[in-house]
Amino acid sequence: MLSSTHVPEVVGNDRDAALVSGAGFAGLATAFWLNRLGYDVTVVEAAPALRRGGTPVDIEGETIDILARMGLVDRVRAKALPSRRFAFKDAEDVTLGSIGASGDHASQERYEIHRDDLLDILSDAVTGLVELTFARSIATLEEHAGGLSVTFSDGEQRDFAVVVGCDGNRSNTRRLAFGGGDRFTHFMGGYFFLKVVPRTDLLDPNTTEVFRTPGRMAMLNGYDDRTDIGFGFRTDSEIAYDHRDRGQQRRMIHDLFDDLNWKVPAMLAASAGDDDFYFDRINQIRMPCWSRGRVVLVGDAGYCVSPLAGLGGSMAIIGAGHLAAALERHPDDLPLAFRHYEEGFRPFVEEIQERAATEGMSTMCPVDEAELSERNREIAAGDMGW
């Protein structure tokens, strides 16, 4: 493992060229480490700029060690949000159970930081050190004896020694290197909508509230300057909808939640209007192997744990740190380095995925009345186990 004071030796041969696809947490952290390791790094991001928005990111455990090794932990601490109280509510807004702001996690260092703040910290850390281009992606990827030939969406062709796919849940690199379709996607039986609104009158700041009925959940995250409005629902199988038709997705949420009380009518009214929201199936990515030849995956691209785990950002940063440590240890042997990366990190990934698929889904969105009653009993007893 890289130690906190240790700056890796330059191991890339004559500055081997490395390509990173995607400029989220996985891509920016991977680019940081590859540059430290001596690679000549290019990052391609499909969006026209860094993709902002979304709920805050939890930073704890090994993520803190890795951010310290990157020299970034003080900047993260400076942006840390106040600790938050998490409460489960019934239809009359009575609290069924809660996790205190300073109780359960008080013994371990743990922060929550806005997703955009962490993106800024990571992108500042690579600015001027790597080539970062937007509105561009990999069109074709071909491995030959000495490396990989890549054609970009704008037609440019270049050779790279290694390609790291950090392009998220619907990874383009995964599709090109491992085959298309949804064969590594595990649908978890539900969908999630999230809208951030610039108002603070729906709940107290630094508070999360969750209201559930069988198969449906409504969630509010309060901050001092904004509120996240979330809706989740269960389905037996994937539903057909047009990914580009935002009006259809908004109507679907409205139709599904229209008859609920608690704060739901106010939440629906507050989230109506524009198309700037997140809506997607809840899924994980589970692959038998995260690398093929000179291509390797980091973050959601290789092992999305789902929003239910609350750890997607951490997994991306830890994954990039593990890959860097493996490349430093085996600088002249990519297959061995990739194997070392996977062997070291896979057990933790699988543990988090399993927990999200079982306790996470059941606690946040119980499937029926019996499961809801059982979870509520645990919540009231302060025994959530999650």
Ligand X SMILES: Cc1cc2nc3c(=O)[nH]c(=O)nc-3n(C[C@H](O)[C@H](O)[C@H](O)COP(=O)(O)OP(=O)(O)OC[C@H]3O[C@@H](n4cnc5c(N)ncnc54)[C@H](O)[C@@H]3O)c2cc1C
Helices 312-329, 62-69: crossing angle, 10 deg rounding:
60
Compute the radius of gyration of the chain from its Cα atoms: 21
Ramachandran bin of 271, using left for φ above 0, alpha for ψ from -120 to 50, beta for the remaining angles: alpha
For position 44 contacting ligand X by CB under 6 A, the verdict is: yes
Tell me which residue has tokens 């990739």: 338
User: Which CB, 38 or 168, lies closer to ligand X?
Assistant: 168
Q: Of 42, 63, 172, 291, which one interacts with ligand X (CB under 6 A)?
A: 172
For position 46 contacting ligand X by CB under 6 A, the verdict is: yes
User: Which CB, 331 or 364, lies closer to ligand X?
Assistant: 364
Task: Determine the residue type at 349.
Answer: V
For position 321 contacting ligand X by CB under 6 A, the verdict is: no
Q: Compute the least distance from the CB of residue 253 to ligand X, in Å.
A: 15
Phi/psi at 38 (5° precision): 100, 5
Which range of residues in 25-33, 88-96, 236-244, 260-268 is near ligand X by CB under 6 A? 25-33
For position 63 contacting ligand X by CB under 6 A, the verdict is: no
Phi/psi at 17 (5° precision): -85, 130
For position 190 contacting ligand X by CB under 6 A, the verdict is: no
Q: Of 2, 17, 18, 26, which one interacts with ligand X (CB under 6 A)?
A: 26
For position 167 contacting ligand X by CB under 6 A, the verdict is: yes
Which range of residues in 64-72, 160-168, 179-187, 203-211 is near ligand X by CB under 6 A? 160-168
Which range of residues in 64-72, 165-173, 203-211, 259-267 is near ligand X by CB under 6 A? 165-173
Task: Report residue 41 as tokens.
Answer: 């790094």
Strand 110-113 versus strand 57-60 pairing type: antiparallel
DSSP 241: -
Q: Compute the least distance from the CB of residue 145 to ligand X, in Å.
A: 26
Residue 199 CB coordination number (10 Å): 11
Task: Determine the residue type at 122.
Answer: L
How many whole angstroms separate alpha carbon 285 and alpha carbon 301? 7
For position 312 contacting ligand X by CB under 6 A, the verdict is: yes
User: Which CB, 62 or 378, lies closer to ligand X?
Assistant: 62
Q: Of 12, 54, 189, 222, which one interacts with ligand X (CB under 6 A)?
A: 54
Contact 231, 253 (CB under 8 A): yes
Q: Compute the least distance from the CB of residue 324 to ligand X, in Å.
A: 15
Q: Compute the least distance from the CB of residue 2 to ligand X, in Å.
A: 20
User: Which CB, 177 or 331, lies closer to ligand X?
Assistant: 177
How many whole angstroms separate alpha carbon 57 and alpha carbon 108? 16
For position 141 contacting ligand X by CB under 6 A, the verdict is: no
For position 112 contacting ligand X by CB under 6 A, the verdict is: no
Which range of residues in 140-148, 168-176, 210-218, 248-256 is near ligand X by CB under 6 A? 168-176
For position 166 contacting ligand X by CB under 6 A, the verdict is: yes
Q: Of 12, 222, 313, 321, which one interacts with ligand X (CB under 6 A)?
A: 313
Alpha helices for the chain (secondary structure H): 25-36, 62-69, 73-78, 115-126, 172-178, 246-257, 264-271, 300-303, 312-329, 334-355, 361-364, 369-380
Q: Segment 250-279, which members bind ligand X (CB under 6 A)?
A: 278
For position 23 contacting ligand X by CB under 6 A, the verdict is: yes
Q: Compute the least distance from the CB of residue 196 to ligand X, in Å.
A: 9
Tell me which residue has tokens 């409460």: 87
Q: Compute the least distance from the CB of residue 118 to ligand X, in Å.
A: 9
For position 55 contacting ligand X by CB under 6 A, the verdict is: yes
Which among 313, 315, 382, 381 is positioned nearest to 350, based on CA atoms?
A: 315
Give whole-number Cα distances, 300 to 149, 214, 306, 381, in Å.
24, 29, 8, 34
User: Which CB, 45 or 209, lies closer to ligand X?
Assistant: 45
Task: Determine the residue type at 284.
Answer: Q
Tell me which residue has tokens 């990934």: 349
Task: Please enumerate in sequence order all residues whose Cβ is within 8 A of that of 45, keeping only pairs 6 or more positions apart, or say none.
Answer: 22, 23, 27, 51, 132, 133, 134, 135, 136, 137
User: Which CB, 46 or 99, lies closer to ligand X?
Assistant: 46
Terminal Cα-to-Cα distance of the chain (whole angstroms): 29
Which range of residues in 3-11, 90-98, 163-171, 181-189 is near ligand X by CB under 6 A? 163-171
For binding to ligand X (CB under 6 A), which residues are involved?
Answer: 21-27, 44-47, 51, 53-55, 137, 166-169, 172, 194, 278, 299-301, 307, 312-313, 316
